[in-house]
Amino acid sequence: MTRSNAALHVAGDPADGKVDRTGQLHLDQLTKTFPSGDSTVTAVDSVNLDIKPGEFITLLGPSGCGKTTTLRIVAGFETATRGQVRLDGRPIDAMPPQRREMAMVFQSYALFPHLTVADNIAYGLKLQRRSRAEVASAMHLALTSMNLVGLEDRSPHELSGGQQQRVALARALVVQPKVLLFDEPLSNLDAKLRGAMRAEIRRIQRMMGITSLYVTHDQDEAMSMSDRVVVMHKGRIEQAAPPAEIYFRPASVFVADFIGRANFIEVIPEHVEDNTAAVMALGRRLTVACDAKVLPGRSAYMMVRPETVELAPAEAGGAGTVLRSTFHGHTVDYEVETNTGTLSVTQLGPDPRKVLSEGTNVSISIDPGRAYLLTKTD
C-alpha cells in the first residue's frame, strides 16, 4: 500500500505488515526576531525539539511565549532568523509550505464558503492531480471516519462549528501529510463540543499514526491529548515532558505555577540525597522529591497541589484556619490561613454534610509523595 494510491492509510496498519516511520521532525536552534523600533524582539529563542514519528506534541504557554510563531516557522509561513527545521533528516527551510508534506488545521476552519463539504475535502487531492478513483476512495474513507456521511452536498454555512472542524480535519488528512499542524483549532467551540472534539482528534491521530504538532493556550487540551507537552515562556522551552511529569515534576517554578494550581511553601532543605530532601513544613518533617538544583541549607519552594492536601477539624492550636469555603458540587475549594501564608486546598467528591465552615481550626496533612521541591530562582 503506497502513499500514491491509498488515501488515509493507517501508519502501522497490520493489514500490510508495514510500519510507516516517516514524520520525524527536528527543530535545531530555531530563533525568530522581529524589528521593534531601534531594536529587535525575540519571539522564538534557540528552540531545540525532536519529535518522533507518530508523536502528538503540544506547544503550550501564555500569550506571546512564541508557540504560534514556532508553528508558523515549521509550516513555512514564517522564516526563521536562525536555526533549521528538518523533516525525516532533510532540511526544509527553503521549501514553500505546499511542498513540506504537512497540512494545517486552522482556528478559523478556513473552509471555502463557495464549495460543498465534498469539494472542500477533495480540494487538496485535486491539486495533487489524483485520479477520479483515488479521490472517490479517499472521500469515502474521510466522510466515514469523520462522521460526515450525508453532509457531502452541504455548504460550510449550513454546518455546526463541530461539523466544520471535522471537515477541516478531513481535508487535512486526505492528502496524507507526514506532519499534521494544529493552530488552536478548538478555541471557537463551546466547552462541551471542545471536549468531544479533543477525543475525536486524538482518536483519528492515533489511528493514522501521523506526527502532530498542536498549539493551544488551553491546559486541559494539552494535558488530555498529548504524548508530550512543551511549555514555552519568553520564546524558550521551559520543559518538554509527558503530562504527568509536567504536572507533578515541573522543571521550574514558572511551569509549576502555570500548569494547574499550586501552593508554594518556602522551606529550608536540611538534607538532600538521591533527589530527595528532608524539610520542615507546617510543623511536620517530610521527605519529598526534589529538583537536582536544590541544595541543603538554601531556601527553596515546596510545590503542593491543592488536591494533595487533607484537612480535618482540630481543637484550638491547629495548623490553620479556614478563611473561605466554596462548594462546587464535585469539589470543595478551601483557603486556609497558616503561619506560612494562605494555602489552597481542594477536596474531591465531598460529603456536603462535612464541608468545613469558615473559621474552623484544622489540621493539615500533605502527601509527601506528591509534593516537589524547586529552587526559588530558575
Helix 161-174 × helix 191-208 angle, to 10°: 20
Whether 188 is in a domain gets the answer: yes
Whether 19 is in a domain gets the answer: no
Do residue 157 and residue 272 come from a single domain?
A: no
What's the burial of 297, exposed, middle or buried (CB within 10 Å: 0-12/13-18/19+)? exposed
pLDDT band at 81 (very low <50, low <70, confident <90, very high): very high
Asked whether the predicted pLDDT for residue 19 surpasses 50, the reply is no
Residue (of 91, 177, 88) closest to 128 by Cα position: 177
Alpha helices in the chain (DSSP H): 67-75, 117-127, 132-145, 161-174, 191-208, 219-225, 243-248, 253-258
Q: CA 46 to CA 65: how far, in whole Å?
A: 13
Asked whether the predicted pLDDT for residue 235 surpasses 90, the reply is yes
Q: Sign of dihedral through CA atoms 41, 85, 57, 138?
A: positive
Which of 55-69, 140-154, 263-277 has the least mean pLDDT?
A: 140-154
Do residue 137 and residue 192 come from a single domain?
A: yes
Rounded to the nearest angstrom, the gap between the alpha carbon of residue 62 and the centroid of all alpha carbons in its chain is: 12
The overall average pLDDT reported for the chain is 88
Asked whether the predicted pLDDT for residue 268 surpasses 90, the reply is yes
Q: CA 256 to CA 239: how far, in whole Å?
A: 11
What's the burial of 142, exposed, middle or buried (CB within 10 Å: 0-12/13-18/19+)? buried
**Domain end marker among 248, 278, 313:** 248
Do residue 222 and residue 296 come from a single domain?
A: no
Do residue 301 and residue 324 come from a single domain?
A: yes
Do residue 69 and residue 90 come from a single domain?
A: yes
Asked whether the predicted pLDDT for residue 13 surpasses 50, the reply is no
Whether 255 is in a domain gets the answer: no
Provide the domain limits for residue 90. Answer: 25-248
Between 48 and 205, whose confidence is greater?
A: 48
Whether 3 is in a domain gets the answer: no
Whether 18 is in a domain gets the answer: no
Do residue 96 and residue 139 come from a single domain?
A: yes
Do residue 134 and residue 67 come from a single domain?
A: yes
Whether 296 is in a domain gets the answer: yes
Number of separate domains in the chain = 2
**pTM to 2 decimals?**
0.86
Do residue 197 and residue 306 come from a single domain?
A: no
Do residue 224 and residue 149 come from a single domain?
A: yes
Burial 257-278 (b: 16+ CB within 10 A, else e): ebbbebbbbebebeebeeeebb
Cα angle 155, 156, 162; round to 5: 135
Give pLDDT tens digits for 85-134: 999 999 999 999 988 999 988 877 788 889 888 888 888 887 777 778 88
Query: CATH code at 299?
Result: 2.40.50.140
Q: CA 106 to CA 119: how far, in whole Å?
A: 18
Given strand 82-87, what is the order of strands in its sheet? 39-51, 25-36, 82-87, 90-91
Asked whether the predicted pLDDT for residue 7 surpasses 60, the reply is no
Residues in the chain: 378
Q: Assess contact for 298 and 268: CB atoms under 8 A.
A: yes
Residue 46 is predicted with a pLDDT of 96
Do residue 233 and residue 272 come from a single domain?
A: no
Give pLDDT tens digits for 284-333: 899 999 999 999 999 999 999 999 999 999 877 788 999 999 999 899 99
Over residues 169-188, mean pLDDT? 87
Do residue 69 and residue 99 come from a single domain?
A: yes
Do residue 275 and residue 350 come from a single domain?
A: yes
Residue 12 is predicted with a pLDDT of 41
219 — phi, psi (to 5°)? -65, -40
Query: CATH code at 236?
Result: 3.40.50.300
Whether 256 is in a domain gets the answer: no
Whether 168 is in a domain gets the answer: yes
**Domain end marker among 248, 276, 295:** 248
**Domain end marker among 248, 277, 308:** 248
pLDDT band at 236 (very low <50, low <70, confident <90, very high): very high
Give pLDDT tens digits for 243-260: 999 999 999 999 999 999
Q: CA 322 to CA 334: how far, in whole Å?
A: 7
Which amino acid, one-letter code, is at 348?
Answer: L
Q: Assess contact for 168 and 200: CB atoms under 8 A.
A: no
Helix 161-174 × helix 132-145 angle, to 10°: 140
